[in-house]
Structure 1
């Protein structure tokens, strides 16, 4: 019989409360975590052979992504998933995109060969910007600089489905992804990991935490990774340094200082390929998974520096306060190529291209202040949350474009990746500079009410968003346009949700929620500034958790409608209006089960029916499905424990129903991918692991924006790791 540890941290709001962690032998991973404070008798009955170890952990007030309160995600009236670090390492997920591969309702890796940003669709809506410890990572909505946090520096990746603007303001309609930072612990734990793999992967990672004094804990997370990019001649390189300190200033106050630094001197830019040669056969056949339409000249680098301070204060037994402030300083330099209009007329081998560069800088600071008050009335308990959030972003970008006439074409049947000469490339054919200043001030209130087995969450938030863009355009050094435009918004977003817990483990829930997203730019016909896009969702579902916590499941149906969508024509994407509407309906079902003492299984299926319901600029698209969304997605994941020391895992991913463009001229072929892995515990301190993603090295097109812009899916990735824990 296996000896498998499951850890469940029972978080308390009191900063100095000792927390009991039950390490339950014979149970599965996080899906079966047990609250030892309430279920000890049941646990002993269900697992008579379990042995319990007790350690002491000092924890600040736990706040879940879904409600910013201590409400257990299992009891939250919404679709909510938590992917912990253990599972991330099993799947060797190096990015948020990879972490979401098994999440229902999410079309991840829209540009599977690209590493400069995380891009995915949740319930039919594009999401570019992740959250990190509850604060949105800054993005100006116009360029390519989007700070990323490597998943090794996160304790978990949490996914909340549907609009969340009632708590977070600026948020996408389909949902949000929050990366929970690794925090200092009061017990000494050290980990050193080496990883090697195909694509010349070389990686070393360190995670060390423990006490410095009785009131001061530290954590140091560091990583260095190098590998070849999937596309020919491209490379990836990353340096991560993330130290943090937590000081228990008094019995009631803790202060956490976090310093995050990530340097990516080599990243893979977004260089698309045409559908002919990828989706369809060209005269030379089909391109391989490493196909590239760029040049050795191409390059993308990014550097991000983010210090933050978090204060948790238990004012008294009923009143708590949380403050977090983060500053971001980021910059990115890019040299890239895109194909301007597909192949040269009459050819299916010679590709028209345009070379360009961007130089981007961004400064942002944001603060969130939360005051929570708990009180009881007759038969009812309340957890009132008051919040004030402010963020300010100043970004600038300089864009140079060589034009089609100044950029050499590429013969995809016999590519030459060393054609561009930096000295002679006419990048001054077109120049654009933008200076964007943005600010957002939001006030929110939420009441989490509980009547016996009924929990209701109701919230409202008011946001004022201001954006000013100064833009200059020039050709051959001669300025021909100077203009300033602003995008201001004042929005109120709400949420009302309820869940009822029956004694048999079933918990039906229903919710209504709203979102808004500010949009930069203006209508090219009227020159009027764009208004924010808004959306609302109706969701209903049911959750199940068995008494022995060995089986859990969630079923949800949803209907999301988004208005004021920015649309553009096919000839010139800069010709934009705001006359679009999109509706997305569907359902998601997921579940996990411990079949016996050596097999755990998790499965999911989602159906996403997104539809363009209004587009005055392109009426031919009305009734069509937007591109880059999988209508059907199914996953299966299993963990096997054949012995005390050996763990094996395997997964299958399937997606289908993705359109090649918004005209719905064709549908991409369905794809089924297999992942496998395993871990062997050599001794208590040393373990070796291995994983293979896309086991059979399936060559496929991951997504297309249109017939001239497609991206291959990730090829087979193999890695072996050696981890020392002490």
Structure 2
């Protein structure tokens, strides 16, 4: 009897969130006030959902765990996978899907989403490897800026620098869905989406204190505590304090994270989760690019080191994010269930930074710089409401999902620019990082103010159908998007442009996918899916507001799960086409039209295999052939590969268990075939990096761990947008941690 589609086992338990049960081989200030008010209101409101009916039950998927082969995942009926917003097991879903568990994130000592995705095929994570102000990566050849958090998109106005982040320490798992997903999520990038699953309260007491130190003057302390407060009320408290030096000279990083949550079970059929996420980043590393001369190419002074910087001590970036949320799961009866999710975001950021306009003519060491500042604020409300209805016809089981999602964002940005005339150059051969005097810097040379109001309303329906060994997922979503931008431009205080830009878009996106279990471990699948992304701004020629970009993907593949669960593998082929791409003039980047098109075709292979009782291995490879197929401004780039897209990526990761107290791991990752610019004037050197780690269980309560990323401290360029804008890859990062679990 095949294991890949065997019926789940029913288990009774309290939690409405996914639980991971580990069978180890060896024992291995301000927000607090708001939290009290928010939780009090949330619990009062949610009590109306309470009903006195039979207990809910859980499902035991038969999938092979991705990181620890001795792990069994148990999900409640209220669990919703990122790929389908249903309880359909990700390994049984007709799409490319990855779930990276917290155990593996800790093994790799991942501090960011970018670091968490380093071993994921078709994902280029080092686009700006020295930058910490946002998560930026390419999936299947397309840029992605905004992550999802517990299934809701983190807000981004599409124009500026303020992007809320969720720290990996507060994340239970990272789920990656490849390809367009607008049939469920509306606004989404065509390459795929990344969803961070929060750590949620558990009914079993568990407490962790972690201390970590490392190079770059790293100092970190983390606390994670969970357990019951009463018979029907569980809590979780996650907190983190981190300080370190930024990779670029004179830069620093600092973070304070506070993440309390409460989960209330008024009866067996209702769960209410109130979560507050607060993050204060008083010091972050801004995106300050370097020229190709001195990084990719030798200059008269040689090459710059991995800590090269084009900024000044004056440069600064700070960000503060406050996100309370409420999630209600209601098991109405045996065929109906309802989920309500609501989140508010209040965020702000201040920046002092520089961009460059290239090297001084005739010199390969003097950089023309422009100093600027941004002051940004954002408020966002988002809610997603899902009603699931299960029923059966003569030969078919249906899981019908109806959803309504609404979000509104109000953001503002004030931008000051000193222009090139008011900003001192930087001499890379003899850099002086103390040239800027903020009191005399002529930032009023140019000013731009923007107030952006956005709203999106989406209605979606999905039918998950099962005919014996065949599973079909069909979905449609219709979105209405409205954006109004009030924009004012001034020079030396004199306003010369004052206008309102209205963007209104309406789009229907679909998905049709199927997977068939051959009863021998192999399950071939095929899918067609669509996506759209609203664009902020207008065509400088016609003055008309931009239309949303759209994309279509065709994908075929096969998944494999061996009868003994020792091997799991996925192979996929994809073909994506993105239309209405915004393109800019080479000379004046503010002059934009919407006549671009980009296609991306490729393949992905990933596999996990348990070689012996003391060794597990995971390998992956992807080939991405992205191509610019239309560009009215720059016809010479048609047929070229877009910048910041790696053609080849290969990874190998292994875990070793030599004794009952020691775990060792090692990984190798390779990226190559990335172009220096969209003119494809040159190809960046490929990079092969080695990571290692170890964990020693001192006693049942204490363990010590260590990790080294980029073991041989390779200096390399992570990516270039063009020859004036390049970013170094992360240098060697070493850390040692002491963890107490009790």
TM-score by structure 1 length? 0.94
**Match of 2:711?**
695
Task: Give the whole-Å Cα distance in 1 for the aligned partners of 2:153 and 2:221.
Answer: 28
**Match of 1:92?**
109
The alpha-carbon deviation at position 253 of structure 1 amounts to 1.1
Cα gap change, 1:484/1:505 in structure 2, threshold over 3 Å: closer, same or farther? Answer: same
Tell whether 2:476 aligns with 1:476.
no
Partner of residue 595 from structure 1, selected from 611, 621, 624: 611
Cα gap change, 1:17/1:247 in structure 2, threshold over 3 Å: closer, same or farther? Answer: closer
The alpha-carbon deviation at position 189 of structure 1 amounts to 0.3
Contact persistence 2:186–2:532 (CA under 8 A): yes
Contact persistence 1:164–1:171 (CA under 8 A): yes
Tell whether 2:501 aligns with 1:485.
yes
Contact persistence 1:10–1:19 (CA under 8 A): no
Contact persistence 1:22–1:36 (CA under 8 A): no
**Match of 1:318?**
335
Task: Give the whole-Å Cα distance in 1 for the aligned partners of 2:102 and 2:254.
Answer: 22
Matched position secondary structure for 1:339: strand
Task: Give the whole-Å Cα distance in 1 for the aligned partners of 2:428 and 2:10.
Answer: 57
Aligned pairs for 1:373-388 within 5 A: 373-388=389-404
Task: Give the whole-Å Cα distance in 2 for the aligned partners of 1:348 and 1:354.
Answer: 18
Partner of residue 526 from structure 2, selected from 510, 523, 536: 510
Aligned pairs for 1:448-597 within 5 A: 448-597=464-613
Matched position secondary structure for 1:660: coil
Cα gap change, 1:23/1:339 in structure 2, threshold over 3 Å: closer, same or farther? Answer: closer
Tell whether 2:457 aligns with 1:437.
no
**Match of 2:646?**
630
Matched position secondary structure for 1:67: coil
Matched position secondary structure for 2:362: coil
The alpha-carbon deviation at position 392 of structure 1 amounts to 0.1
**Match of 1:330?**
347
Matched position secondary structure for 1:64: coil
Cα gap change, 1:386/1:297 in structure 2, threshold over 3 Å: closer, same or farther? Answer: same
Contact persistence 2:530–2:553 (CA under 8 A): yes
Task: Give the whole-Å Cα distance in 2 for the aligned partners of 1:422 and 1:692.
Answer: 38
**Match of 2:679?**
663
The alpha-carbon deviation at position 285 of structure 1 amounts to 0.3
Contact persistence 2:60–2:75 (CA under 8 A): no
Cα gap change, 1:444/1:344 in structure 2, threshold over 3 Å: closer, same or farther? Answer: same
Cα gap change, 1:24/1:336 in structure 2, threshold over 3 Å: closer, same or farther? Answer: same
The alpha-carbon deviation at position 203 of structure 1 amounts to 0.1
Matched position secondary structure for 2:698: strand
Aligned pairs for 1:205-354 within 5 A: 205-340=222-357, 342-354=358-370
Cα gap change, 1:77/1:353 in structure 2, threshold over 3 Å: closer, same or farther? Answer: same
Aligned pairs for 1:415-434 within 5 A: 415-434=431-450
Contact persistence 2:26–2:660 (CA under 8 A): no
Cα gap change, 1:23/1:111 in structure 2, threshold over 3 Å: closer, same or farther? Answer: closer
Task: Give the whole-Å Cα distance in 2 for the aligned partners of 1:28 and 1:191.
Answer: 15
Contact persistence 1:60–1:254 (CA under 8 A): no
Task: Give the whole-Å Cα distance in 2 for the aligned partners of 1:259 and 1:504.
Answer: 46
**Match of 1:408?**
424
Task: Give the whole-Å Cα distance in 2 for the aligned partners of 1:127 and 1:224.
Answer: 27
Task: Give the whole-Å Cα distance in 2 for the aligned partners of 1:350 and 1:22.
Answer: 58
Q: Please give the root-mean-square deviation of Cα atoms over the aligned residues, in Å.
A: 2.2
Partner of residue 132 from structure 1, selected from 125, 145, 149: 149
Task: Give the whole-Å Cα distance in 2 for the aligned partners of 1:11 and 1:659.
Answer: 52
The alpha-carbon deviation at position 251 of structure 1 amounts to 2.0
The alpha-carbon deviation at position 217 of structure 1 amounts to 0.1
**Match of 1:174?**
191
The alpha-carbon deviation at position 11 of structure 1 amounts to 8.7
Matched position secondary structure for 1:561: strand
Task: Give the whole-Å Cα distance in 2 for the aligned partners of 1:712 and 1:718.
Answer: 18
Cα gap change, 1:421/1:510 in structure 2, threshold over 3 Å: closer, same or farther? Answer: same
**Runs of 5+ unmatched residues, structure 1:** 1-8, 30-34
Task: Give the whole-Å Cα distance in 2 for the aligned partners of 1:14 and 1:477.
Answer: 64
Matched position secondary structure for 1:353: strand
Contact persistence 1:247–1:254 (CA under 8 A): yes
Contact persistence 2:257–2:278 (CA under 8 A): yes
**Match of 2:161?**
144
The alpha-carbon deviation at position 540 of structure 1 amounts to 0.2
Tell whether 2:691 aligns with 1:675.
yes
Matched position secondary structure for 2:169: helix
Task: Give the whole-Å Cα distance in 1 for the aligned partners of 2:523 and 2:208.
Answer: 39
**Match of 1:370?**
386
Aligned residues: 703
Matched position secondary structure for 2:115: helix
Describe the superposition over 1:122-167 as per-residue Cα deviations: whole angstroms up to 9, x where unpaired.
0000000000000000000000000000011010000000000000
The alpha-carbon deviation at position 26 of structure 1 amounts to 4.5
Matched position secondary structure for 2:249: coil
Partner of residue 646 from structure 1, selected from 643, 652, 662: 662
The alpha-carbon deviation at position 24 of structure 1 amounts to 3.6
Task: Give the whole-Å Cα distance in 1 for the aligned partners of 2:19 and 2:362.
Answer: 71
Cα gap change, 1:10/1:84 in structure 2, threshold over 3 Å: closer, same or farther? Answer: farther
Task: Give the whole-Å Cα distance in 1 for the aligned partners of 2:22 and 2:173.
Answer: 19
Task: Give the whole-Å Cα distance in 2 for the aligned partners of 1:18 and 1:626.
Answer: 40
The alpha-carbon deviation at position 184 of structure 1 amounts to 0.3
Matched position secondary structure for 1:573: coil
Cα gap change, 1:598/1:459 in structure 2, threshold over 3 Å: closer, same or farther? Answer: same
The alpha-carbon deviation at position 16 of structure 1 amounts to 6.8
**Runs of 5+ unmatched residues, structure 2:** 1-7, 29-57
